[in-house]
Amino acid sequence: MGSVVVNNIVKTYGTKKAQVTALNGISFEVAPGELFGIIGPDGAGKTSLFRILTTLMLADKGEASVDGYDVVKDLKAIRKRVGYMPGRFSLYQDLTVAENLEFFATIFNTSIEENYDLIKDIYSQIEPFKNRRAGKLSGGMKQKLALSCALIHYPSVLFLDEPTTGVDAVSRKEFWEMLRRLKEKGITILVSTPYMDEASLCDRVALMQEGKLMSVNTPSGIVEQFGKPLLAVRSGNMLQLLRDLKQCREVEDAYPFGEYHHAVMKKDFSQQELEACLKNHPGVTIKAIQPDIEDCFMDLMKN
């Protein structure tokens, strides 16, 4: 059975006149021990979903369970066994690092010593500052303290809501390495992120947009579903190249992608015709590439 089971969850906000549908019939399952990513931009509904699964909010419709416990009926059991790190820093700013950790350990009827093994890796990095107030920590240290507090009762399922938003590339890499090590200890992890490139670090991902899941699959499975030829194209005049690509008959879509433009081609396109279409770009580089998650996300957004 799934560690997290979500069945047709609907959540709306606002009044009847101005209603916003945050979650529009969401269903998926997460297997025990899985590192599951929910990938989507701001406003996709990621936080609403996490708040329902952590029993902090009720859905309008649908059912969900965590570790076999129902999110409505068994909320106390769920709260005892899950760890939750909200997107906004939610620890006590005027308690020290050590006091925060102690507080959460006590609340969950355990002690720092009992589960120190689990958090050692992470907590040891901020332990030199254990007498500093949490409000005075840097962003990276706050994040490590919040993760330590979410883990101190050895949860079976860990919910991390956008832990890497606004975090630089180096710290993001380190954070994902920490998650890998936690996964090895058997903890099921649900993590949300707006960064598409983090998808490849998950076992499976759900691509989310406007309250709906567009696809749930392994990262490689999502890439395989793309099903259209994709080219990376580059020339001396990138702005004009983008305009020209969009005019080519064999190009379905073209958009900037870092150093190159990506061109989504019609099936069975002819390379010769494309080259003819781009004749005003001497020395143009054209190469066939594998799509990444961001290509897939944009493609799914159009459907």
Residues that bind other proteins (CB under 8 A): 18, 40-44, 138-140, 165-171, 173, 194, 196, 209, 239, 255-259, 294, 297-298, 301
- Closer to other proteins by Cβ: residue 207 or 216: 207
Q: Least distance to other proteins from the beta carbon of 117, Å?
A: 25
Q: Least distance to other proteins from the beta carbon of 145, Å?
A: 13
Tell whether the torsion through CA atoms of 102, 107, 108 and 111 is positive or negative: positive
Q: What b-and-e string marks burial along 55-76, b requiring 16 or more CB atoms within 10 Å of the CB?
A: beeebeebebbbbebebeebbe
- Closer to other proteins by Cβ: residue 186 or 236: 236
- Closer to other proteins by Cβ: residue 78 or 241: 241
Q: Which two tokens stand for residue 60?
A: 């309008």
- Closer to other proteins by Cβ: residue 103 or 255: 255
Q: Least distance to other proteins from the beta carbon of 142, Å?
A: 8
Q: Least distance to other proteins from the beta carbon of 297, Å?
A: 6
Q: Which two tokens stand for residue 36?
A: 């599951």
- Closer to other proteins by Cβ: residue 1 or 18: 18
Q: Are 32 and 3 in contact (CB under 8 A)?
A: yes
C-alpha to C-alpha distance for 288 and 285, rounded to whole angstroms? 10
Q: Least distance to other proteins from the beta carbon of 71, Å?
A: 26
User: Exposure of 13 by Cβ count < 10 A (0-12 exposed, 13-18 middle, 19+ buried)?
Assistant: exposed
Q: Are 207 and 46 in contact (CB under 8 A)?
A: no
Q: Which two tokens stand for residue 137?
A: 């920590």
Q: Least distance to other proteins from the beta carbon of 173, Å?
A: 7
Q: Least distance to other proteins from the beta carbon of 143, Å?
A: 10
- Closer to other proteins by Cβ: residue 166 or 221: 166
- Closer to other proteins by Cβ: residue 11 or 144: 144
- Closer to other proteins by Cβ: residue 112 or 298: 298
Strands 4-14 and 19-30: antiparallel
Q: Least distance to other proteins from the beta carbon of 188, Å?
A: 25
